[in-house]
Amino acid sequence: MSTRTDTPTHGPLAVDGVSSDEGHAALRASVRRLGELLGESLTRHEGPDLLELVEQVRALAREPDHGAKLAQLLSGVDDRTAIVLARAFTAYFQLANASEQLHRGLELSHQPSGGLDTALERLQDAVTAGEADPRAVREVLGRLQLRPVFTAHPTESSRRSVLDLLLRITANVEASEDPQQRPTDALRGQRRLAELVDLLWQTDELRVERPRPADEARSALHYLRTLAADVLPDLLEDLDVGLANAGLGLPAGARPLRFGSWVGGDRDGNPNVTPEVTLEVLGLMHDAALDVLSSAVRELRTELAASTQIVGVSEELAASLERDARLMPEVRADRERLNGEEPYRFQLSYVLARLEGTRARLRSGAEHVEGLDYAGPEEFFAELRVLQDSLRANDGELVADGSVARLLRTAHAVGFGLATLDVREHAERHHAALAAAYDRLGELVQPYASLDRESRRRLLSRELTGHRPLIGAAVRSLTGTPAQVMHLFATIRNCLDRFGDDAIESYIVSMTQGVDDLLAVVVLAREVGLVDLADGGGREGGPGDVARIGFVPLFETVTELEAAEDLLEGLLSDPSYRRVVAARGDVQEIMLGYSDSSKDAGIAASRWQIHRAQRALRDVARRHGVVLRLFHGRGGSVGRGGGPTGEAILAQPYGTLDGPIKVTEQGEVISDKYVQPRLARHNLEVALSAALEASTLHRSARADHDVLDVWDGTMDVLAAEGQRAYRALVRDPGLVPFFLTATPVEELGHLNIGSRPSRRPGGTGGLEDLRAIPWVFGWTQSRINVPGWFGVGSGLAAARAAGRGDALREMYAEWHFFRSFVSNVQMTLAKTDLGIAAHYVEELVPAAQRGAFDVIRAEHARTLEQVLWVTEQDSLLESTPVLRRTLELRDAYLAPLHALQVSLLGRSRAAGDGVDPALRRALLLTINGIAAGMRNTG
């Protein structure tokens, strides 16, 4: 969405330069008005002199070659004034972003469907033309499931208080733009808007302390509750009705859309996520879900006023009412006078009482009491179906297939917990626990830790089918890591017993490098009763086989991705593990890591190896008769796998999406995608439509295999040369000092935006210890954006030099994967500004350490040239002018923040350990402001 005008308006932070397109007039007007209100607030609080300084800085930033003048002006600004400047430009970005979200949502609401209608039409045409077998399509629809998984890292840089104020501001902007409002309403709205902007200025953008995992969970729940109440009912109804109209329909109990979460479950490198935290977070999630469901049932009860004076009820519902009257006499006494002849309202009163009883039971950890609370969501679903069947049999078909069906679909999507929690832990911690157990027994000829991977695999596979407790009562004598690991598994079992099997579904193993890494987790899960193969009779999925959670290898580096095929083959060929998969419904989940693979080998090698790995994993799963559920660990920024989700889903290799798919939603993009219900609907619809289309229609290759061979060979050349160039950069000893001085990465730890430390524990302080998030965040702040494009130019040039130029252009025109890859690189290049970056380098990096910047400049020029050649453009983003104008607008306001940040970084580093708190605060505000303007943290 563009916000550009050719006529500057008077007032602080007014919109300079946004498009004159008639369709954007309302957006331009709202941003202009908010900018004026911000200027008035700044004058009231800080005085006209500071407003004049803001205007002076803004005007300088618009001049060509403004760097020296702006630096000179800002060098004389004291710390307190620097704080005000940083806050002023950050507040503008916050207001402009919020307004843009509002108008983007309004525009989308007046446009054709976000993709669902198109996907359904294509599916119906394919079935009608005989290109898709209806029975096979229905089978796939039965397991269709898009699961966005909310993570806490990198978390939203803006505080919840700021986001809430911005939401109120946009609500008032929308109301004020209603042409039918009365003049008194307009005046009152204008006063309220000024009040809210004033409150925004008075609200601190920075967190006083680092959030706890429970705080991050509450933030995620805020969005999940809104989605469940305001988005899911309509979206799921449109999908269900659309499929029915196409002669297909969803099976009863289908869950095409669910949510997942890592908040409170991801403990890899985060010592703050303890078993106690996991239990606390699950309690919050279930309390919120039951509140959402109770609200929906109350609303349905208000509607269902059907009287037995007019219609009848089914025998099953009548029997249910009689039973409930005996079990809950207090509810009967309370409601009989009001609803004695309204059986559906009466029944929903009992349902509400049981939901409240369930909520109280889960809060206290008490035992389930038959009839007074629900043992699990299936009992709740069953009661709603009884009510629905009675309506259908008694002239209530429209209501049964309307309001009741809407509630059922939503309830199936959110369950009793809103989202399913994933647990993640590092592979080595599991082996440490097993080493303690086996070494205590003394039955191995050598210590467990010294066994090679194949020896461990054989040992653990045998152990799984045995009857003995490996650890048993000795768990009480464990200390350190082994004790912590066993405490975690015991907590998972307790959580499943208390909250149900939907509470935790997947146990993800970081740094999976061998079959033994997965078997180790299964053995430890067996120790607490989560897995039991002892009574299965040696048959796959025997009647006694139990696996209450699934086990998920995470392939994070290029080396691990290259070995993924052999590892999955080894896992599924192991008889013991194959029984575990059978007990899980013959579904094997695999997680693919974008962030670390990109940090390890560059974006070209990362994307290509992930694509190749998906093909190989697809083929292995098919050979073993297993449904593959891929979990894409994509980041918010392109350097960490970000980019449009729908395009990414459609760009997967054919046949890899066989119904279910999981995709991370990183903390930094959650507010942008889901804060406005209209935008939330659009984003979910696009992703769900892509999952539907890819699962049902992209089951075979779209291009001939000889063409694919040429494309594959071209990508091999591109990825190999891209990796070589990238690794030459990151392995240069001079890059570490350059990165640490040319970016504010060392200052990020003071920003308090997430509960997880930015570095892995026990490292040496080099780049290998730095997590992918701050790696991307640092480069983004100084506008170099290395992770999002470096190496691509060398790769494309190498492919062209090898005579593959025609293939590259053909790939861009016809191959969804390659077009998506190049488009994402192009967007990152557009956000890169080496002119701004040069200011960081010249002011902050000693002359002897600037060699890396010369390499970066050369590769940037090469990448820009090659991308423009492949896309046949004269300049970046020619085909997306709205995005280009938006980025140009943001640059006009980012320039002052960058210049201020450089000045403050210089002062802060000169002060050493004695940095004044005001100086640090000003610096952190620039980091926060640039993140708001770039819409990226990491």
Just list the catalytic residues.
153, 599
**Cβ atoms 457, 464 nearer than 8 A:** no
Q: Locate 284 and state its tokens.
A: 């919050």
In angstroms, the CA 79 to CA 844 distance is 19
Both tokens of 331, joined, read: 């509810």
Residue 273, helix vs strand vs coil: coil
Helices (H), 1-78: 25-46, 48-61, 67-75
Which residues are bridge partners to 555 per DSSP?
A: 592
What distance in Å separates the CA atoms of residue 614 and residue 437, rounded to the nearest whole number? 36
What gap in Å lies between CA 133 and CA 145, rounded to an integer? 20
| Rounded-to-integer distance, Cα 778 and Cα 775, Å | 6
H-state helical runs in 177-274: 183-202, 213-230, 232-245
Output the six-digit token pair for 869: 């050649």
Handedness of CA 31, 33, 36, 42 (dihedral sign): negative
Report yes or no: 925 and 86 within 8 Å, Cβ to Cβ: yes
Q: Where are the beta strands (DSSP E) in 69-150?
A: 145-150
Q: Residue 260: CA atoms inside 13 Å, Cβ hemisphere, count?
A: 28
CB atoms within 10 A of CB 25: 12
Element (H, E) at 289: helix 275-303
- Nearest CA-CA partner of 637 in 668, 606, 599, 611: 668
Distance from C-alpha of 517 to C-alpha of 782, rounded to nearest angstrom: 39
List alpha helices for 563-650, DSSP H. Answer: 564-573, 575-583, 595-601, 603-623, 645-650
Q: Locate tokens 């005000």: which residue?
A: 84
DSSP label of 305: -
AA letter at 379: E
Say if residues 271 and 760 touch (Cβ distance below 8 Å).
no
Alpha-carbon separation of residue 143 from 267, 407, 578, 585 (angstroms):
29, 20, 20, 11
For tokens 């040696």, what's the residue?
Answer: 538
Closest CA to 404 of 385, 379, 380, 382: 385
User: In sequence order, what are the residues at sequence separation of 6 or more whose Cβ sits closer than 8 angstroms to the Cβ of residue 645?
Assistant: 634, 663, 683, 686, 687, 690
Largest CA distance in the chain: 91
Q: Is 546 left (phi over 0), alpha (psi -120 to 50) or beta?
A: beta
In a 3-state reduction of DSSP, which class is residue 547? strand
Alpha helices in 129-182 (DSSP H): 134-143, 160-176
Q: Which class for 693: exposed (0-12), middle (13-18), buried (19 or more C-beta within 10 A)?
A: buried
Q: Nearest-CA neighbor of 774 among 794, 750, 801?
A: 750
Preceding peptide of 154 cis, ω within 30°: yes
Q: Are 30 and 104 in contact (CB under 8 A)?
A: no
First to last CA, the chain: 22
Among 695, 708, 516, 702, which Cα is nearest to 612's? Answer: 708
Q: Is 531 helix (H, G, I), strand (E, B) or coil?
A: strand
Residue 800 backbone class (left: φ over 0; alpha: ψ -120 to 50; beta: rest): alpha
Query: Do you know the residue count of the chain?
Result: 938
